[in-house]
Structure formats: structure tokens, C-alpha cells
A and B are shown apart, each in its own frame.
Chain A
Amino acid sequence: MGTVSNNKENNNINSGREGVRGWLNPTRYGWERVSYWLQRLTGLFLLVYFVGHVYETSSITNGIDAWNSMLELTQTIGGHIFLILVIGTSTFHTVNGIRLIFTESGKGLGKPGRPDYPYNPSSLNYIQKSGIWVALLLACIAMLYGGMVLFGEGG
């Protein structure tokens, strides 16, 4: 059984197909890889939230009682924490997405140069790394502000 599984794994690696396992493999993570991974995870999370949000807000069509019942479910401590998570992920996804648009248009990649030891690629430079850090920092600030609004007066 183990041999069959190992053969399948070797075949997948040899064919260059690693699927979700390759996607989530932490051993090759630099900051750019973390950013790649977070961009996709936050995107999936936000898509699920968006579909849920479209569904929950549809309760407005069923009158005031249905709307208030929905609010009772979402306007709780757990609901607020979930919303803070949405604020953080959407901020990161937006800022990192803008960085990626600039990167794809060639901005912030540095000039191509002769590959010298230790062969650090010029494209993975401090501009890219600081962009990722700025995205994470802004996500934290947005979550903090969201928490103050949601848990503050009238939240």
C-alpha cells in the first residue's frame, strides 16, 4: 500500500504535478511564496464571505422580522470577530493585489543584471518585500480600526 502511494507520489513529482500538496508545501517558502499563498487563501475566503453576504442580506426581502433575526445571528461577538477577519483579509488582498499589478507591469522589479554569486534574483528585491510587509501592516491597522468600530459605542 505504502509502495503504491510512494510510486504515485514519485510519478506526480516527475510529471511536475503536485496539486494542493505542492501549493501548500512550506519548505520552499520565501516571503514571495507566503504572499502568493496568502493572496489565494484570502481570495477564497473573501469569495465565500461574499456569497454568504449576498445570501444573508437577501433576508431584507422577507420583512423586518427576518432582517432582525439575521442581525441577531451576525451582530454577536463571534460575528464581529469574523467581520474583523474579513476586514483584515480584504485589506491584505487589495494592497497585495495592487503590488502584483505593478509587478506584472514591470514596476519595482529592478534592472536586469549579470548573475553573480550568491545569485539573488533582482526581481525579488526590497521593493517587493516591503510591499508585502506594507500589505500585512495595513491589514493589521484596518483590523484594529474595524475592531474599534464594531466593539465601540453603537457597534
Chain B
Amino acid sequence: MALLRLRESQITKIHYLTGILSLFAVAIHIIFRLIMPFGQSLSYENVVANYQNIFYVILLESILVLISIHGFNGLRIILIELKQSHRWESTITILVLIAMVGVIAYGTRTIVIASGL
């Protein structure tokens, strides 16, 4: 598996990059909630209208992928800090990858259905 062969320094760079990119993507996501009264921005009609906007759909998918990679890699780092062995690290990496792919798949399903793609 490709990720298991990546050096820790390369994974760290991916972690930093996804963190910084998430910051900008989430900022735009929050701005979409603040350009009108917060309660109104969460109305069904407004949220569906957001999903019909292709740029917003791309933004949501980016946030989903970036934060999933950053978040689950962070979890992997914490768990590897607690115990060190080759078997433990491989097990944690595989479990975290499965969870990450699961969350991305579930979120993508929502985006695809809601946007009517």
C-alpha cells in the first residue's frame, strides 16, 4: 500500500498542507453561513440552493477530503505516539485509512444526492 511506504517526513508535509488548505476552505464555508442571518442560512431552501452551486459543491468536497486526511492522520500520530511497534503502526495506519475512506465516501454520497449530480 502506497501510504505505508511513505516516509514520515512526507506524511508530515501532507499533514501541514492539508491543514493550511483546510483553513482557507473552511473560512469560505463559514462565510457562506454569515452572509445572511445564521438561522436563515440554515433553512432547507437555502442549503439546497447552496448544493446547486457547483463551486460550493467543489468547496464542500475539498473540505471533506482535506479535513478527513488531516484529521485521521492526526489521530494516527496520536495513537502511534502512545505505543511503538511495527505491527501496531501498520494496524493503526490501515484502520485509520479505512475510517478516512468511509467518511469521505459517506460525505460524498450526501454531496452527490443533494446537488443532484
Binding site for B on A (CB under 8 A): 17, 19-20, 23, 40, 43-44, 46-47, 50-51, 54-55, 57-58, 60-61, 64, 67-68, 71, 75, 90, 94, 97-98, 101, 104, 149-150, 153-155
| A44 touching B110 in the complex, CB below 8 Å, given contacts A20-B82, A60-B51 | no
Known: A61-B113, A94-B23. A44 touches B34 (CB 8 A): no
Quick one: which of A44, A57, A68 contacts B75, CB cutoff 8 A?
A44
Using Cβ atoms and an 8 Å threshold, which residues of chain A touch B16? 101
Complex Cα spacing A23 to B82, Å: 8
Query: Which size bracket describes the interface of B in this complex?
Result: 20 to 34
B71-A68 in contact (CB<8A): no
Q: Tell me if B86 counts as interface (CB < 8 A to partner A).
A: no
Which of B12, B78, B83 has the most C-beta atoms of chain A within 10 angstroms of its own C-beta?
B78
A-B contact pairs, 17 of them (CB 8 A): A19-B82, A19-B83, A40-B74, A43-B71, A43-B78, A54-B103, A54-B106, A55-B106, A58-B107, A60-B44, A60-B114, A61-B114, A68-B44, A149-B34, A154-B38, A154-B39, A155-B39
Contact pattern, B 27-46, Cβ under 8 Å of A = 1, otherwise 0 = 00000001001111010100
**CB <8 Å contact, A58 and B38:** no
A104 to B109, CA, bound (A): 37
Contact yes or no, A154 B75, CB < 8 A: no
Tell me, in angstroms, the Cα distance from A90 to B71 when the chains sit together.
12
Show the binding face of B for A, using Cβ within 8 Å. 12, 16, 19-20, 23, 26, 34, 37-40, 42, 44, 47-48, 51, 64, 67-68, 71-72, 74-75, 78, 81-83, 103, 106-107, 109-110, 113-114
A/B pair count, beta carbons within 8 Å: 73
Besides A54-B64, A154-B40, A155-B39, 8 other CB < 8 A contacts?
A55-B106, A60-B51, A60-B110, A101-B19, A149-B34, A149-B38, A154-B37, A155-B38
